[in-house]
Amino acid sequence: MSKINPLFFALGIPVLVIVILVAVVVPRMGGGGKFADLTPFSAEAYRKDWATLQGNAYRLDCQVEQQLYVVEGRGRVLAVKPIEKDVTRPSGRIPIFVPFSANDSFEVGQRFKCKLRVSRDLLVVEGLERF
């Protein structure tokens, strides 16, 4: 019966752990996080004709600008500024509705990746991830 060299375990296990961590962390850093498979939200398209986006889910990378309104027991309306890749064409602020089920607190300047659903003329947040 042959013995397995202890050097194999000493070097093999850390290498295996690093490979697994890279496989998990790199896709999250690549853009959308857990919402990477969603289409990025276009504030410009929303302003032109929100009805064409109705019922679809999108990813929005945004920064909280202001809390506009709180509906007790239902949620809050926040004014957010989309974080654009093309800074030469800023899109301005947009309102989003965050249900209380999200259990998050929001402060001006915080950044989020959101899963949005366009419901009628309202942008409803279905998921959040801070970044």
> pLDDT tens across 110-124, in order?
999 999 999 877 899
Domain residues for the domain of 85 are: 37-130
**Predicted confidence (pLDDT) at residue 101 exceeds the cutoff of 80:** no
Q: Domain for residue 19, yes or no?
A: no
The model scores a pTM over 0.75: no
Give how many domains the chain has, as a whole number. 1
- What is each CA distance from 44 to 54, 58, 100, 126, in whole angstroms? 14, 14, 27, 21
Amino acid at 114: C
pLDDT at 59: 92
* Domain membership flag for residue 64: yes
Residue 88 lies in a domain: yes
Question: Nearest-CA neighbor of 64 among 128, 124, 114, 109?
Answer: 109
Is residue 74 a part of any domain in this protein? yes
Q: Give pLDDT tens digits for 2-21.
A: 677 787 777 888 888 888 88
* Angle of CA points 123, 128, 131, to nearest 5°: 120
Does residue 75 lie within any of the structural domains? yes
What's the CATH code of the domain at 59?
A: 2.40.50
Give pLDDT, residue 84.
Answer: 78
